[in-house]
Structure 1
Amino acid sequence: DVAAGGTDVAAGGTDVAAGGTDVAAGGTEVAVGGTGVAGGGTEVAVGGTGVAVGGIAATT
């Protein structure tokens, strides 16, 4: 995981936090100024909140 001014937690996943908070549990998650949680899916949160469980979620 990569944290640029943000907080991220990766449990078997990949996450990138740029000024946001993200949690990746077996998934891929990107949070830019938002909050994202990916559980076995792919999630992108840009200034919003996104949750992906086994799917793909995008929040702007």
Structure 2
Amino acid sequence: MAVVKTKGAIDDPAPGEVLKVVAIDLRSMSDIDGWASETNGVELLAQEEGDGIYTHYVRKTD
């Protein structure tokens, strides 16, 4: 579900801006990583996990 919501939200920021995605599903770590690797115009900057919260920072590149 995190990827679906991220796909929709990535259109809003201007190029260069960073989207912070917060999820509670462990699978979001691999899902967001895979999606960013295969998607033009986005770059996964970092992922953090703690206390069952998974945070992803995705930059829109174009």
TM over 0.5: no
Say which structure is richer in helix.
2
TM-score by length of 1: 0.26
- Select the structure of larger CA radius of gyration: 2
